[in-house]
Amino acid sequence: MVLETVLLVAAVLLGIGVWGALSQQSFVMLMMGIELMVNGAILAAGGLWAYAGGGAPKGQVLVIIAMAVMAIEMAIGFALVVAVYRARQADMTEGIASMKG
Protein backbone atom coordinates (compact mmCIF):
# COMPACT_ATOMS: atom_id res chain seq x y z
CA MET A 1 0.00 0.00 0.00
CA VAL A 2 1.63 3.16 -1.24
CA LEU A 3 0.16 6.52 -2.25
CA GLU A 4 0.08 5.60 -5.94
CA THR A 5 -1.99 2.45 -5.39
CA VAL A 6 -4.45 4.26 -3.13
CA LEU A 7 -4.88 7.00 -5.72
CA LEU A 8 -5.30 4.44 -8.50
CA VAL A 9 -8.08 2.70 -6.58
CA ALA A 10 -9.67 6.10 -5.98
CA ALA A 11 -9.44 6.88 -9.71
CA VAL A 12 -11.15 3.59 -10.60
CA LEU A 13 -13.96 4.29 -8.13
CA LEU A 14 -14.40 7.77 -9.57
CA GLY A 15 -14.44 6.39 -13.09
CA ILE A 16 -17.12 3.85 -12.22
CA GLY A 17 -19.10 6.65 -10.60
CA VAL A 18 -18.88 8.77 -13.77
CA TRP A 19 -19.94 5.84 -15.91
CA GLY A 20 -22.88 5.07 -13.61
CA ALA A 21 -24.04 8.66 -13.27
CA LEU A 22 -23.96 9.23 -17.02
CA SER A 23 -25.52 5.97 -18.09
CA GLN A 24 -28.31 5.48 -15.56
CA GLN A 25 -31.77 6.80 -16.31
CA SER A 26 -33.24 6.59 -12.87
CA PHE A 27 -32.68 9.59 -10.62
CA VAL A 28 -31.81 7.44 -7.66
CA MET A 29 -29.34 5.33 -9.60
CA LEU A 30 -27.84 8.54 -10.94
CA MET A 31 -27.35 9.75 -7.38
CA MET A 32 -25.64 6.49 -6.59
CA GLY A 33 -23.14 7.26 -9.32
CA ILE A 34 -22.44 10.66 -7.76
CA GLU A 35 -22.04 9.05 -4.34
CA LEU A 36 -19.52 6.63 -5.77
CA MET A 37 -17.55 9.57 -7.21
CA VAL A 38 -17.45 11.24 -3.81
CA ASN A 39 -16.39 7.89 -2.36
CA GLY A 40 -13.37 7.91 -4.66
CA ALA A 41 -12.63 11.53 -3.73
CA ILE A 42 -12.73 10.65 -0.02
CA LEU A 43 -10.29 7.81 -0.57
CA ALA A 44 -7.94 10.06 -2.55
CA ALA A 45 -8.07 12.77 0.11
CA GLY A 46 -7.42 10.20 2.84
CA GLY A 47 -4.48 8.77 0.92
CA LEU A 48 -2.92 12.18 0.28
CA TRP A 49 -3.43 13.12 3.93
CA ALA A 50 -1.69 9.96 5.10
CA TYR A 51 1.23 9.90 2.68
CA ALA A 52 1.80 13.41 1.39
CA GLY A 53 0.22 15.71 3.93
CA GLY A 54 2.22 14.61 6.93
CA GLY A 55 -0.99 14.05 8.88
CA ALA A 56 -2.04 17.71 8.85
CA PRO A 57 -5.40 17.98 10.61
CA LYS A 58 -6.78 20.16 7.79
CA GLY A 59 -6.59 17.12 5.52
CA GLN A 60 -9.05 15.29 7.75
CA VAL A 61 -11.30 18.35 7.80
CA LEU A 62 -11.43 18.13 4.00
CA VAL A 63 -12.72 14.56 4.23
CA ILE A 64 -15.34 15.62 6.75
CA ILE A 65 -16.47 18.34 4.37
CA ALA A 66 -16.69 15.74 1.59
CA MET A 67 -18.94 13.65 3.81
CA ALA A 68 -21.10 16.69 4.55
CA VAL A 69 -21.32 17.38 0.83
CA MET A 70 -22.48 13.82 0.30
CA ALA A 71 -25.17 14.16 2.96
CA ILE A 72 -26.36 17.42 1.43
CA GLU A 73 -26.35 15.97 -2.06
CA MET A 74 -28.43 13.07 -0.84
CA ALA A 75 -30.97 15.13 1.11
CA ILE A 76 -31.50 17.71 -1.62
CA GLY A 77 -31.44 15.01 -4.28
CA PHE A 78 -34.16 13.01 -2.61
CA ALA A 79 -36.19 16.13 -1.88
CA LEU A 80 -36.02 17.05 -5.57
CA VAL A 81 -36.98 13.53 -6.59
CA VAL A 82 -39.99 13.68 -4.29
CA ALA A 83 -40.97 17.12 -5.59
CA VAL A 84 -40.61 16.08 -9.22
CA TYR A 85 -42.39 12.81 -8.63
CA ARG A 86 -45.22 14.58 -6.88
CA ALA A 87 -45.63 17.01 -9.74
CA ARG A 88 -44.88 14.80 -12.71
CA GLN A 89 -45.04 11.16 -11.67
CA ALA A 90 -41.56 10.83 -13.11
CA ASP A 91 -38.61 9.10 -11.57
CA MET A 92 -36.53 8.85 -14.72
CA THR A 93 -34.46 11.60 -16.26
CA GLU A 94 -36.33 11.37 -19.58
CA GLY A 95 -39.58 11.89 -17.71
CA ILE A 96 -38.76 15.56 -17.30
CA ALA A 97 -37.31 16.16 -20.74
CA SER A 98 -38.90 19.59 -20.69
CA MET A 99 -38.45 21.67 -17.58
CA LYS A 100 -41.47 23.91 -18.12
CA GLY A 101 -44.69 23.55 -16.22
Partner 1 sequence: MTGVDVAFWVFALAAVWSGYRVFRTDSMVRASFLLLASFLNVGAILVLLLAEYLGTALLFMMTVEMVVMALFMVMFMMNPAGLNPMEMVHQPRLAAVAGVVTTAGLGLVAVVVDFPDAPVDPAAETIRALGTELLGGSMLVFESAGVTLLATMVCAVILSAARGRYGDGTAGSVAPPLEPGGDHRPEDDLVGDGGGGHHHHGGH
Partner 2 sequence: MAVSWLARLAADAPTPVFAVAGVDAWGAVQELRGDPRIRLAATPRHAAVLLVAGTILAGHGEALRRVHDQLPRPRAVVVWRAPGTGPAIPALAVVDGSADEVVSAVGRAHASILADPTRAQADLLPDEEPTEWRGVGPFGQGGEGMMGGTPYGRPMAMTGDDRDGLALDQLHLTLGPFLDPLPPGLTLDVTLQGEVLQDVAVDRAAPPVVDHAAPGDPATPAAAARRGLHWLAHALHVEGLDALAGRAAHLASQVAVGDVAADRSADRLARLVTATGVLRSLRGVGAVDGADASDRWRQRLAAIVAALRDGVVPRALEPAPSDDAALAGLLVGVTLTDAVSTLVSLELPGVLRPAVAA
- Positions touching partner 2 (CB under 8 A) are 82, 85-86, 89
Cβ 32 to partner 2 shortest distance, Å: 18
Position 14 contacts partner 1 (CB under 8 A):
yes
Q: How many CA atoms lie within 13 A of 59 on its CB side?
A: 14
Judged by beta carbon distances under 5 to 8 A according to partner kind, the member of partner 1, partner 2, none in contact with residue 12 is: partner 1
Assess contact for 40 and 20: CB atoms under 8 A.
no
Cβ 51 to partner 1 shortest distance, Å: 5
Position 20 contacts partner 1 (CB under 8 A):
yes
Assess contact for 47 and 7: CB atoms under 8 A.
yes
Q: How many CA atoms lie within 13 A of 58 on its CB side?
A: 2
